[in-house]
Structure formats: structure tokens, C-alpha cells
Amino acid sequence: MQALTAPSGGRERNAAVLPLPAFSDNYIWAIVRDGQAAVVDPGEAGPVLRLLEQQGLRLRAILLTHHHGDHVGGVSELSRIEGITVYGPARERLPRCDVPLAQGDRVEIPELDLDLSVLDVPGHTAGHIAYTGRAAGVEPVLFCGDTLFAGGCGRLFEGTPAQMLDSLEKFSVLPPDTQVFCAHEYTLANLRWASAVEPANRNLQQWHQRARQLRAEGLPTLPSTIGQERATNPFLRTQQIEVVQAAERWAGHNHATPVEVFASLREWKNEFK
């Protein structure tokens, strides 16, 4: 298990953000500090319960980004733990939600050194939200659920290309050193596709090589950063001429707007083998 730890020294010395693998390729993110924890998108309870037992942690909160089962499936079982608070999107139906959230709301848990602002990011689902700010002394962070992946983005199950592009642009303006905690280990597949879109992108080539090495060593490729995604993720590069031309070649016609470019990229990725 690879941890992203807070800066050494002071009250944050026992703080970390930990990836808990779940199912075949999900990550539940555990925010840990001084014997307490919060978890993001617990699709199953088992990995969380094992962490709590192994490290003697008290679960304080659950943060949800959207309603899909592989993100909320563990909520009911974890709800048996006394004293937890469940935060989640106000516009989605969830197994439990004590504090409904929408853009501009904040989640503050001082014991975890957690201070997160909420963004509305529809596209993958209609009410999807994301959290950005500070967690366990690590900042800036972004817990983006299934909206953004390293080298990719979520499928449009309930939203439109325009909505998803707008959501991704909310991420793109975050500081470049923002740590991006995606909910799936899709990186290698995404970067194979991204390399087909921009085969001459040196940043992408280097990132792809590093990601392959990490996976060969059994390590997560995450977190990514916003700066890295801006440099390598076609879905955040819809106004780059190389990406526009690649999308137009694939679609067989010219595109007048970034939304049209994004829509073609999303269809291309859906069909990419």
C-alpha cells in the first residue's frame, strides 16, 4: 500500500492519504491522521474495516462523489459504526447521506486536518460532485470520483459532452500541483489511447513509461496531478491543435468548438481497443 504523507514534522507527522484497492480496479481513498480516518467512495466495506482494525483507527466520516454501486456499496455496512457522518451529492440517491452537498459547500473535520470545497461536476452522473482543498495535511488535493482519470475521464452515463467538458474545465483551473485522487486504476489503458491521439507528445511518452514501471512493481499510478493531466490528458487538451486535428481525423469532419472535439474524443475512447 503506497501512502501519500503530509509534510514531516509537527502535528501532521501521522497523517496520510492511503489507497485501498477494491474490486478489480477501484480505489477507496482513506484520509488518516492521529488515529482517525475518513474514506472517500467506499464501494465495499471490507478494505475499510481491515484498515481500521490493522491500524487501530476510528472512522469519522464517509465522503461520496456519486451514486454508482462501486462507490457506495459499502456505506450500509460501515454505517453500523457509531459516530460517523456521511457526506454526499445533494442531487443523487444514496444509501445514506447525513450532509447533502452542492457547489460552494465545505466539509471541515479539524481532527483530520480536512478542509474541502465542493464542486458540482455533472457528466458521468447528473449529480456528481468532487472535493478539493486539504486532507490530512496534504494540499492541494482533488477527490474527483469518476469524472477525471489519469489520461482519461468518465463515461457519459447521465450527462452531455458540454456538461462534462465544463466539469473538467473546473479541474483544469486548479493549481498545477493539485494531487488528483481518481477512483480507478485505468491509467495504462487510458495512456495507450492518449498515445494514439498525441503520438508525438513527449510528456505523455515519459508518463506512460513511468506508469508502466509503477504497475510492473505492483504500485498505484495515482495520485496524478493537474499539471500532469493538462500536459498529457486529451480530454483536458481539447483546444490543442494536435488534439483537435486527431479528433477531426477520427471523426472524418471538422470541429467548430471544443465541445465537438470532446464529444469525438469520448466516442473514440469508448471504441478504442
pLDDT band at 180 (very low <50, low <70, confident <90, very high): very high
66 is in an annotated binding site: yes
251 within 8 A of 263, measured Cβ to Cβ: no
- Per-residue pLDDT of 184-204, as tens digits, reads 999 999 999 999 999 999 999
Q: Out of 41, 70, 113, 120, which one is annotated catalytic? A: 70
128 is in an annotated binding site: no
70 labelled catalytic: yes
98 is in an annotated binding site: no
208 labelled catalytic: no
184 labelled catalytic: yes
Q: Out of 41, 113, 120, 146, which one is annotated catalytic? A: 146
67 is in an annotated binding site: no
124 labelled catalytic: yes
Q: Out of 128, 184, 208, 255, which one is annotated catalytic? A: 184
- Per-residue pLDDT of 63-102, as tens digits, reads 999 999 999 999 999 999 999 999 999 999 999 999 999 9
Average pLDDT over residues 240-266: 97
120 labelled catalytic: no
In eight-state DSSP terms, residue 119 is E
| CA neighbor of 17 nearest in space, from 26, 257, 27, 66 | 27
Q: Out of 71, 128, 208, 255, which one is annotated catalytic? A: 71
Residue with cell 477520427: 250
68 is in an annotated binding site: yes
66 labelled catalytic: yes
Q: Say how far apart CA 129 and CA 45 lie, in whole Å.
A: 21
- Per-residue pLDDT of 101-154, as tens digits, reads 999 999 999 999 999 999 999 999 999 999 999 999 999 999 999 999 999 999
Q: Say how far apart CA 268 and CA 195 lie, in whole Å.
A: 13
Domain 4-271 of CATH type 3.60.15.10? yes
Q: Helices in the chain by DSSP H: which ranges?
A: 46-55, 69-72, 75-78, 161-172, 187-197, 202-216, 226-232, 241-251, 258-271
6 within 8 A of 15, measured Cβ to Cβ: yes
41 labelled catalytic: no
